Structure formats: C-alpha cells, structure tokens
A and B are shown apart, each in its own frame.
Chain A
Amino acid sequence: MEDRLKNLKNSIKKTVLQDLIFTEEHKKSIRHRIQQLPETSEEQILLAVFQLLKQRRTGFELSRLIRARGIKKYENEEGFLYMTLHKFEHRGYLDTFWEEPDVKYYQLSKKGLTILTKLEKNTYGKATILKEILER
C-alpha cells in the first residue's frame, strides 16, 4: 500500500490531472480581474503610506511606490499627496529631514510607528484609530 501511495504523484498526474493545465489564458484572466478591482479604500492608502515611510523617502519616491502598489489616487495629483504628508507631519506621525538644499525626506516618527503597528495587527480598535487619523 505504502509503495503504491509513494507512486501516487505519478499516478495522479498521469490520470485524473492529466489535462489540467494552468495556461496563459488563466493568467490573463487573473490579471484582468486584478485590474478591475475597485479603487483602493482610504484605509488601504493610509496603510500603504505608513508602511512605505518606515524608510526615509522623498515625496517623489513615495508617489512612485504608491502607484506601484496599484493605488491611483495620487496619480497626476501629487499635490494631494503632499497635503496628506504635511498633515501627518503636523500631527507628529512623520519626521522630516532636509538633505541638499531642496530635497525633503519623510520618515515615520515613533508615534507614527506605534500607529502602524496597531494598524497592521488588524485587531479590535483598528477602526477607531483609522477614524482618528482620517477625520481629524
């Protein structure tokens, strides 16, 4: 019995799974469905901004990375992103640094990191934190 089961991989491949193939068509259809996904919610955008700013980044870098995550909100509307960053800086979620005369870097502050940890834990109270950050 054990021997036959050891050979199960081949037996199954040769028989029941014989013409079950993951094709280019399947991939295409998945890509299509991903592109059709509804716009990202405010919460997801916020989470993305916080996660990406664990490292020190410029606003330009950040906007590219946000776009790479499939978030289109700030595409060609970078001004809004800077407004958000300004707001977060003001509330103490972000530290900012000037390097070279005119390049500003953003990074999560201790307070910002605490909030990110809470957001990522996905626990009870997440909604309250989000409400606080988004609405005030």
Chain B
Amino acid sequence: MEESIIEDLLIHDREKLIDQLMDHYGQSILQLAFSYVGNRELAEDLTQEVFVKCYQKLDQYQKKSSLKTWLWRIAVNHCKDYLRSWHHNHVVISEERVKDTASREKEVENQVIQRDEDEQLAKMVLRLPDTYREVIYLYYFEELSIKEISHLTGVNANTIKTRLKRAKEILKNSLEG
C-alpha cells in the first residue's frame, strides 16, 4: 500500500484503512494463522481478532516500520499468544485430536490416490513443532529474509538460522524414513 494513502487514511478514515488492509493482506494473514493453528475455523477467528486489534491499536502505530510489518507483527504475536493460552492447551486439545485422526485417514487415502510428493512435504511442514514450522513458513512460503523474520518474531537471527537448519533436517529425515 502506498505510504501517502496510508498517512491520509490514518488521519481521516480509519475504518477505510482497515478495509484496505483487509483487501491487501486478509488472505495472507488467514494463511499465516492457519500455519500456526492448523485449523480452519480457528484461523478464521484469529484473523478477525487480528484486524480488530489492529484497528484498536492504530493510535500506537509509530511509523517505525511499515504498516504491513506492523500488522504482521500483531498477527504473529496474536497467533502465538493463542498457542500459549490456557484455552488452547486445555480446552481445544480433545477436539483437535479427533480432527487430527480424521485428517490422517484422509491423508492416507490421498496418498494412495495421488502419490504427490509436494503435498506430502506441505503436510509435513504443517506438522512440524511450532518453532520450526514458523521459520519454514515465513522463509519459504512468505519468502521473507532472515532479518525480516527476526524482526517479526522478535527472535535472534542466528537462532532463526539454526531453527531453519534443524527444521530441514527433520523434514529430510521424515521424507526419507
């Protein structure tokens, strides 16, 4: 989005600004949320909350980073807060297990129907532990640089490199094993 337009909307019409942000980034934020929680309804809820939160926090936007980066930070933090929350760790688990089994069955089916290696890899990525999935997703799917990932997640760049390396090892082992 163009800086001058953002500047203007930030002052004159915040609801329209959110509209534009949704048009530009709604789809990627929804996908991002899905990459964290692996569940469609949850990803939809989290995406809604991210945009509402963004609207509420616009006063605090200090223009130190682009509005896009700022929105993404809110999204990343919001998803991680959810994963850390009591609700997620206590309430949803049983429900998710059911879904997980169902999707595994479907997956086996799919594997029989089409031995699509790419699909296999995609699913494996989504099953990685949180910290590894995060870096793989941001690096290979969103095609962000290590520096950008570091800024978004607040994690040291070297740690991110290590996580990327380790994540690739895990993927390699499971694909070959």
A residues contacting B by CB (< 8 A) are 1-2, 4-12, 14-17, 20-22, 26-27, 29-31, 33-34, 37, 44, 47-48, 51-52, 65, 68-70, 120, 122
- Which B residues are in CB contact (< 8 Å) with A69? 14
* Structural contact, A34 and B15, CB atoms closer than 8 A: yes
- Which B residues are in CB contact (< 8 Å) with A14? 118-119, 122
- Top 6 nearest A-B pairs by Cβ distance? A11-B118, A22-B26, A15-B119, A8-B140, A22-B27, A11-B122
* Structural contact, A8 and B136, CB atoms closer than 8 A: yes
Q: Is the interface of A mostly helix, strand, loop or mixed?
A: helix
* Structural contact, A8 and B168, CB atoms closer than 8 A: no
Stretch of B42-50, B70-78, B93-101, B148-156 with 4 or more beta carbons under 8 angstroms from chain A: B42-50
- Which B residues are in CB contact (< 8 Å) with A4? 117-118, 121
- Using known A-B contacts A8-B136, A8-B140, A33-B52, determine if residue A20 contacts B122 with beta carbons closer than 8 Å: no
* Structural contact, A31 and B19, CB atoms closer than 8 A: yes
In the assembled complex, the Cα of A133 lies from the Cα of B175 at a distance in Å of 63
**Min distance, Cβ A19 to any Cβ of chain B, angstroms:** 9
**Min distance, Cβ B148 to any Cβ of chain A, angstroms:** 16
**Min distance, Cβ A49 to any Cβ of chain B, angstroms:** 12
- Using known A-B contacts A34-B52, A52-B11, determine if residue A16 contacts B123 with beta carbons closer than 8 Å: yes
- Using known A-B contacts A30-B22, A68-B14, determine if residue A37 contacts B56 with beta carbons closer than 8 Å: yes
**Min distance, Cβ A37 to any Cβ of chain B, angstroms:** 7
Q: Please report the total number of B residues contacting A with Cβ < 8 Å.
A: 43
* Structural contact, B140 and A9, CB atoms closer than 8 A: yes
Of the candidates A6, A7, A20, A51, the one whose C-beta lies within 8 Å of that of B31 is A20
Of the candidates A1, A9, A11, A17, the one whose C-beta lies within 8 Å of that of B34 is A17
Judged by a CB distance under 8 angstroms, whether B130 is at the interface is: no
* Structural contact, A15 and B118, CB atoms closer than 8 A: yes
- Which B residues are in CB contact (< 8 Å) with A31? 15, 18-19
In the assembled complex, the Cα of A11 lies from the Cα of B44 at a distance in Å of 21
Minimum CB distance partner of B171 in chain A: A1
In the assembled complex, the Cα of A131 lies from the Cα of B148 at a distance in Å of 39
* Structural contact, B52 and A17, CB atoms closer than 8 A: no
- Which B residues are in CB contact (< 8 Å) with A30? 18, 22, 48, 51-52
* Structural contact, A68 and B11, CB atoms closer than 8 A: yes
Judged by a CB distance under 8 angstroms, whether B40 is at the interface is: yes
What string of 1s and 0s marks CB contacts (under 8 Å) between B162-175 and chain A?
Answer: 00000010011001
Minimum CB distance partner of A29 in chain B: B48
* Structural contact, A20 and B40, CB atoms closer than 8 A: yes
- Using known A-B contacts A27-B26, A30-B51, A69-B14, determine if residue A9 contacts B141 with beta carbons closer than 8 Å: yes
Judged by a CB distance under 8 angstroms, whether B60 is at the interface is: yes
Given A8-B121, A47-B59, A68-B13, 18 other A-B contacts at CB below 8 A?
A1-B171, A2-B168, A4-B118, A5-B136, A9-B140, A15-B118, A16-B122, A17-B31, A17-B34, A20-B34, A21-B30, A27-B19, A27-B26, A30-B18, A31-B15, A33-B52, A34-B55, A65-B11
